[in-house]
A and B are shown apart, each in its own frame.
Chain A
Amino acid sequence: MKTFAYQRADSIAEALAAAADPDTELIAGGTEVLNWLKEGIWAPDRLVDITGLGLAEIDSGPTGLRIGALARMSDVAAHPAVRAGYPILAESLLRAASPQLRNMATIGGNLMQRTRCPYFRADSALPCHKRVAGSGCSARHGDTSTAALFGWSDGCVATHPSDLAVALAALDATVVVRTEQGQRRISAAEFHRLPDDEPWLHNELRMGELIEAVEVPAEPDPRGSHYLKVRERVSYEFAVTSAAAVVTLSGREITNARLAMGGVAHRPWRLFEAEQALAGRNIDDREELLAAVRLSFAGARALPGNAYKLTLAPRTAVRALRIAGGRR
């Protein structure tokens, strides 16, 4: 590992100046940055520790919830206002990582984590645009078992691993970004970038910016929500597919549904066509729900290794909906 200077930022202005330096990386919980350093994914000249900035408050009011970027995953998951008003956020957090990692990792860092694509994480560097821009994509014609169904390009077929981001997308949350000029607000559903023709870009955060907070509008019926994570073991594993469902019912009829999926794209994938079609359907009619959800899969493009997700992902969404609607 290349050596680096280590400094602490005492003010947001200092942190923003550090974020504007292309040879500097900001570090908070460290659980992702240390992976990059150890794997040689990124070798900055300087680390600037931002854990002294505060930005860890969790505030809840009648209009919504605001979570400081430096709040730890475990603290957010255990917070009474989160548990009462936004249980789907706690579910997504508690299904991620391990208790030790959740005690370290921050909300901002969770959003800033990069793909778990095995080629990006390889311990000896393989062609990967997200690792070295312009180097190619080893996954495109390699192991595509964890690859995306939506929004991928020949330059990158990776998915984004954050569980929290999927729940935030379903809740219409906003990522609040601090810039030198002030603030910028980015929809949580669009914070991570689809590869398009710039597959080396991970997210919408620009040089010289840092995440300040996440804001979530108040949920009128917080209990009608569920985060379902399908993985290869019961605990401590990334999602194969996941779904965040928020549903309001009149009797057994769906009046409003919001659905976001993980494990299918390099951003949380909102199922807008399904959401529209779900209005008026009966929450207990599994086949009707599945037909509605499948409308959002018309544009799915499977790769040789991940066609199973065409079956698994709609079922994941339907089960999340049914649990959210109170019937397992």
Chain B
Amino acid sequence: MGIHQVLRVNGVDHEFEVDPRATLVDVLREQLGLTGTKKGCDRGECGACTVFLDGRRVLACMMLAVAATGREVTTIEGLTSSDGALHPVQREFLDNDAFQCGFCTPGQIMSATACIAEGHAGSDDEIREWMSGNICRCAAYPQIVSSVAKANGHLGAGTIAGFAVPVADEAGSEP
């Protein structure tokens, strides 16, 4: 019943047997021990499981792990540099108190990093629209928006986890 799979996560190949029903979020957490990615609604509604797939933000709960074979997965663990320094978006979330319980935070940070790279963080309204796939039940939204805006100030659009990201111009930002 198990399928032999090689999955590349944060630049490292992992080889294991996977149940065909297992979603990417379950494999990351249960088989690879990468528990930074959170499993919230498990229905593609809350954004807590946001990871990058080939440099694009996706929901790990709405993807079968087997479907990620041959792709490059980046999780919140892969965002921190190898010397342990926090990513600028992580730093801003800390400095701006952009969380309370913290459960949605890894997904928020992954989504925010992508949002900035895509060029969709030009104004508070634009950030709200392009972060709308990430729900925060503690409602730390004002602090999240201001963290994204500040991080956008010192990060350029265009690349994410080593992948080039198409950058939106003004018209592409229309919600």
State the A residues within 8 Å of B (CB).
1, 3-6, 27, 30-31, 34-35, 37-38, 47, 49, 51, 74, 77-78, 83, 87, 90-91, 94-95, 97-101, 103-104, 234-236
Residues of A within 8 A of B129 (CB): 234-235
Contact A6 B20, beta carbon cutoff 8 Å: yes
17 contacts between A and B (CB under 8 A): A3-B1, A3-B20, A4-B21, A6-B66, A27-B67, A30-B67, A31-B44, A34-B61, A35-B44, A38-B42, A77-B172, A98-B47, A98-B133, A98-B134, A100-B57, A100-B59, A235-B128
Residues of B within 8 A of A91 (CB): 174
Assuming the contacts A1-B21, A99-B57, asked whether A104 and B63 have C-beta atoms less than 8 A apart, the reply is yes
State the B residues within 8 Å of A (CB).
1, 3, 19-21, 23, 42-44, 47, 50, 53, 56-59, 61-64, 66-67, 111, 114-115, 118, 120, 128-130, 132-134, 166, 168, 171-172, 174-175
Contact B114 A99, beta carbon cutoff 8 Å: yes
CA distance A236 to B36 in the complex (A): 24
Contact B44 A101, beta carbon cutoff 8 Å: yes
Chain B minimum-CB-distance residue to A233? B132
Chain A proximity of B49: nearest CB distance (Å)? 9
CA distance A235 to B131 in the complex (A): 10
Contact A101 B115, beta carbon cutoff 8 Å: no
Contact A99 B133, beta carbon cutoff 8 Å: yes
Residues of B within 8 A of A100 (CB): 44, 47, 50, 57-59, 111, 133
CA distance A91 to B61 in the complex (A): 26
Q: Is the interface of B mostly helix, strand, loop or mixed?
A: mixed
Residues of B within 8 A of A31 (CB): 44, 59, 62
CA distance A91 to B171 in the complex (A): 10
Assuming the contacts A30-B64, A38-B42, A51-B67, asked whether A104 and B23 have C-beta atoms less than 8 A apart, the reply is no
Residue among B42, B66, B133 having the largest count of chain A Cβ atoms under 10 Å: B133
Q: A6-B66, A94-B175 are in contact. List 15 more A-B contacts (CB 8 A).
A: A3-B1, A5-B20, A34-B44, A35-B44, A47-B20, A49-B67, A77-B172, A78-B166, A78-B168, A91-B174, A97-B133, A99-B111, A100-B50, A103-B53, A104-B58
Contact A83 B171, beta carbon cutoff 8 Å: yes
Residues of A within 8 A of B58 (CB): 100, 103-104
Chain A proximity of B83: nearest CB distance (Å)? 29
Chain B minimum-CB-distance residue to A51? B67
Residues of A within 8 A of B44 (CB): 31, 34-35, 100-101
Chain B proximity of A57: nearest CB distance (Å)? 16
Residues of B within 8 A of A30 (CB): 62-64, 67
Assuming the contacts A98-B47, A100-B133, asked whether A90 and B3 have C-beta atoms less than 8 A apart, the reply is no
Residues of A within 8 A of B23 (CB): 34
Residues of B within 8 A of A95 (CB): 175
Contact A103 B174, beta carbon cutoff 8 Å: no
Contact A104 B59, beta carbon cutoff 8 Å: yes
CA distance A83 to B169 in the complex (A): 11
CA distance A27 to B47 in the complex (A): 21
Residues of B within 8 A of A94 (CB): 174-175
CA distance A30 to B24 in the complex (A): 12
